[in-house]
Amino acid sequence: MELQQIGAQHPKIKQVLAIQRNTAPNPRRVITAEGLWAHKLLLEHNVVIDTFLWCPEAAYGDEARTRAVDLAERAHLAYQVSERTLARISERDKPDGLFSIAQLPLWEPQDVWLGESSLIMVADGMEIPGNLGTLIRTLDAAGADCLVLTNRRTRLTHPKVFRASQGMVLKMPVLDFERTEDAIAWLQSNEVNVYLADTDDAKNYRSFNYSGKRTAFVLGAERYGIPKPWYEAGYKRVFIPMLGSADSLNVSISAAVFLFEARAQKDHW
């Protein structure tokens, strides 16, 4: 496979660094992916690959070389880079010689199909990219149908989101609403039973029946809590009992508790 060789001063390398630093505008929602496992996901989920960078010297096996051919054919642009250039942009010890700029799927409300017993998580005011990625991974593990974001304060394209989600950000539908009221309207139009994670006037999360109905849980940011419009909608409140000195759980752990309880009821575990 013959590809044009580029170096550290090429615009594509500079673009990679800008994406990784998360400083420049990113209207096309592009991310960086490196290593064999990440590129298997790109191919498996038919992700649009803007640019593929191949370093044959850094490949550790025949599978990487085979995948490189597939990726070069799939990508809009494909180049070869040296080990030195790859080391400049790689954040892994062994990226298998594979590095890409890819586009995240763009989900619109009409793209998400909800079954009679769908499971949804709403995260309001999400700030930390690692937490967002872990949350997406948790949703996938619990067989949830989608993640709804409102008042988001971190980008889905942040490199930590991809890593923390184990690439599940490519698979899990994520709806990003600028206004809380729009998210509420979408949930109401789909006849979703919504529960707010709170401690005031709340009931134990295990005291509700989630089976046979569409279910959504709303988690707020620790700094801001759940915004007022969610309470004005009249939704029920649920809490997780704290048995030690801590007064709360990490957002992704809280999500796991809620989601797996609801999943167990829906699937009759």
Question: What's the total number of domains in the chain?
Answer: 2
pLDDT tens digits along 158-217: 989 999 999 999 999 999 998 999 999 999 999 999 999 998 889 999 999 999 999 999
pLDDT bin (cut points 50, 70, 90) of residue 262 is very high
The answer to whether residues 38 and 76 belong to one domain is yes
Nearest residue to 231 (alpha-carbon basis) of 181, 177, 174, 178:
181
Which residues span the domain enclosing 158?
Answer: 109-267
The answer to whether residues 79 and 118 belong to one domain is no
pLDDT tens digits along 120-133: 999 999 889 999 99
Domain end residue (candidates: 103, 123, 141): 103
The answer to whether residues 149 and 39 belong to one domain is no
Residues 167 and 32: their CA atoms lie apart, in Å, by: 11
Q: Is the pLDDT of residue 224 over 90?
A: no
3-state secondary structure of 91: coil
Q: What is the pLDDT of residue 217?
A: 98
The answer to whether residues 13 and 125 belong to one domain is no
Residues 241 and 199: their CA atoms lie apart, in Å, by: 9
Q: What is the pLDDT of residue 97?
A: 96
pLDDT bin (cut points 50, 70, 90) of residue 101 is very high
Q: What percent of the chain has pLDDT over 90?
A: 82
Q: Is the pLDDT of residue 222 over 80?
A: no
CATH code assigned at 227: 3.40.1280.10
Domain end residue (candidates: 85, 103, 121): 103
CATH code assigned at 50: 3.30.1330.30
DSSP-derived pairing of the beta strands 77-80 and 4-5: parallel
Domain end residue (candidates: 62, 84, 103): 103
The answer to whether residues 43 and 133 belong to one domain is no
Q: What is the pLDDT of residue 135?
A: 96
